[in-house]
């Protein structure tokens, strides 16, 4: 899956080397097919870069053009779903559809557990209960 890295400096053009990773930025954006390490992702986030996967490339055809988790690694599916820190999330409906497809297909426990944990976190943030609001609940 291709990864897009957006520089915090708008319009930046240049070639930067981060260990074994070389990125060519054009108008503040670089794209790579190289897998980013957790260290790279943490480093980019700390410096204000935006890192995201390419959903257009991730959504390989399943006959209906939808993302098929069985054709991707656990990491790629979690990235697509927005479980990986620093990535945007899909809609709630797409999240459920992909998790249902995973459960009906490969049923990978590590993927399903991470997705369930993230879903519970999102639900806790959106409950509106006093303990989940600014200032606490007591």
Q: Is the pLDDT of residue 134 over 70?
A: no
- 58 or 122: which leads in pLDDT: 122
Instruction: For residue 36, give the nearest of 73, 82, 75 by alpha carbon.
Output: 75
Residues linked to residue 24 through DSSP beta bridges, in sequence order: 15
**Torsion from C-alpha of 38, 73, 85, 113, nearest 10 degrees:** -120
pLDDT (tens digit, 9 = 90+) per residue, 59-106? 443 445 678 888 888 888 888 888 876 555 678 888 888 899 999 999
What's the distance, Cα to Cα, between the start and end of the chain in Å? 46
Instruction: For residue 4, give the nearest of 89, 72, 24, 61 by alpha carbon.
Output: 24
* Least confident range of 27-31, 79-83, 120-124, 126-130: 126-130
Within 13 Å, how many C-alpha atoms sit on residue 112's CB side?
A: 13
Angle at 126 between CA 130 and CA 82, to 5 degrees: 145
Alpha-carbon span 18 to 2, nearest angstrom: 17
Q: Is the pLDDT of residue 129 over 70?
A: no
Within 13 Å, how many C-alpha atoms sit on residue 23's CB side?
A: 27
The pLDDT value recorded for residue 58 is: 44
């Amino acid at each position: 899956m291709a990864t897009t890295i957006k520089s915090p400096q708008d319009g930046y053009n240049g070639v930067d080397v981060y260990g074994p990773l070389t990125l060519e930025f054009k108008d503040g954006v670089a794209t790579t097919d190289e897998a980013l390490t957790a260290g790279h992702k943490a480093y980019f986030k700390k410096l204000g870069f935006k890192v995201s996967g390419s959903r257009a490339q991730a959504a390989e055809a399943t006959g209906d053009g939808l993302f098929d988790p069985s054709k991707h690694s656990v990491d790629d599916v979690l990235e697509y779903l927005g479980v990986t820190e620093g990535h945007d999330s899909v809609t709630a409906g797409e999240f459920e559809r992909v998790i249902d497809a995973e459960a009906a297909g490969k049923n990978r426990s590590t993927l399903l557990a991470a997705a369930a944990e993230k879903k519970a976190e999102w639900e806790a943030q959106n409950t509106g209960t006093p303990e989940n609001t600014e200032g606490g609940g007591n």
